Amino acid sequence: MFTGQQIAFIGGGNMTEALVSGLLKTGQVAPAQIIATDIRPERLEYLARSFSIRVSSDNARAVSGAHMIVLSVEPQILDEVLRGLTPSLDPDVLIVSVAAGYPLSRLNRVLARTGRSVRAMPNTPSIVGRGATALALSPDLSPQDIARATALFESVGSVTVVEERLMDAVTGLSGSGPAYVFLIIEALADGGVKAGLPRPVAAALAAQTVLGAATMVLETGLHPAELKDRVASPGGTTIAGLHALEQGGLRAALMSAVEAAAERSTELGCEPPSR
């Protein structure tokens, strides 16, 4: 898939670390095929030491000769980063952007090019190989381009291809969703402590409960409502707890959280270029 190809990661943060680790663990590339950039010398030192990859503080130098470029920087600074890359880009390079809310049309406009680009929204569980990534594809990608982009993110979890118009909704759900789940785990653990459990026990039970419930949804294929009903026996403890959650507005709060994050993703894509 990546034989003889060079991959440049612009931005050396957590997502770059996850993807580099995934590619190396799955044996798809050798360390010498990867270069990563960052403005922080200590981060570059960490990546080089941890993965034996090449590192640089010079974005333009890093992308020269690359077959795939992964843009892993904040959307607020991506315009500036792209303008610095333009003189060094090979016209046939495949560009993959993980910047939230940043549309392909804007990417191509800033780079003064068309096509061969992918917009991706991975999430933080990619760090532990359990990510959920959605891809939006430019129409002129080759089958090999699509296969390479898919393989990149399958190295850290599952991949779904969606129309680009749905990417802001993806951002609000799976992109931001881990934070919502962390909050739920914390709240469940706090409830356990309130009921008398030691905090380490409560935290472990809460996390494993969420993991187990999610696995049941994925592996059984059953609707979450059906699985919920299987737990809630008539007049029992679970239905009493569910009633309390409904009174507290948990369902509406989570729906509003997804909607708010999706709206912010749209705003980020519409903000004027950085100066």
**DSSP letter string, 101-133:** T--HHHHHHHHT--S-EEEEE--GGGGGT-EEE
Task: Please report, for the domain that includes residue 229, its CATH number.
Answer: 1.10.3730.10
Binding site members for NADP(+): 10-15
Cα–Cα distance between 117 and 52 in angstroms, integer?
A: 28
Looking at the structure, tell me whether residues 144 and 220 fall in a common domain: no
Looking at the structure, tell me whether residues 135 and 221 fall in a common domain: no
Cα–Cα distance between 71 and 250 in angstroms, integer?
A: 35
Whether 272 is in a domain gets the answer: no
Whether 93 is in a domain gets the answer: yes
Whether 81 is in a domain gets the answer: yes
Per-residue pLDDT tens digits for 142-160: 999 999 999 999 999 999 9
End position of a domain, from candidates 113, 135, 167 = 167
Looking at the structure, tell me whether residues 87 and 153 fall in a common domain: yes
Cα–Cα distance between 97 and 153 in angstroms, integer?
A: 12
| Mean pLDDT, range 18-37, rounded to an integer | 96
Judged by DSSP in three states, 89 sits in: coil
DSSP 213-228: HHHHHHHH---HHHHH
Whether 144 is in a domain gets the answer: yes
pLDDT score for 274:
42
Nearest of 55, 30, 52 to residue 44 by alpha carbon: 55
Please, which pLDDT band fits residue 272 given cuts at 50, 70 and 90? low
**What range defines the domain where residue 232 resides?**
175-266
Looking at the structure, tell me whether residues 187 and 238 fall in a common domain: yes
Cβ atoms < 10 Å from Cβ of 262: 21
Please, which pLDDT band fits residue 53 given cuts at 50, 70 and 90? very high
**pTM beyond cutoff 0.75:** yes
**What is the distance between the terminal CA atoms of the chain, rounded to a whole angstrom?**
38
Looking at the structure, tell me whether residues 162 and 231 fall in a common domain: no
* For residue 56, pLDDT beyond 70: yes
Looking at the structure, tell me whether residues 144 and 112 fall in a common domain: yes
Looking at the structure, tell me whether residues 40 and 111 fall in a common domain: yes
Per-residue pLDDT tens digits for 228-265: 999 999 999 999 999 999 999 999 999 999 999 999 98
Domain count of the fold of the chain? 2
End position of a domain, from candidates 125, 143, 167 = 167
Give the pairing of strands 54-56 and 157-161: unpaired
End position of a domain, from candidates 167, 194, 224 = 167
Task: Please report, for the domain that includes residue 80, its CATH number.
Answer: 3.40.50.720
* For residue 131, pLDDT beyond 50: yes
| Mean pLDDT, range 201-217, rounded to an integer | 98
Binding site members: 10-15, 59
Backbone angles phi, psi at 94, to 5 degrees: -85, 125
Whether 273 is in a domain gets the answer: no
Nearest of 15, 38, 37 to residue 155 by alpha carbon: 15
| Mean pLDDT, range 55-78, rounded to an integer | 94
Binding site members for NADPH: 59
Are 116 and 140 in contact, with CB atoms under 8 Å apart? yes
Whether 227 is in a domain gets the answer: yes
Looking at the structure, tell me whether residues 143 and 212 fall in a common domain: no
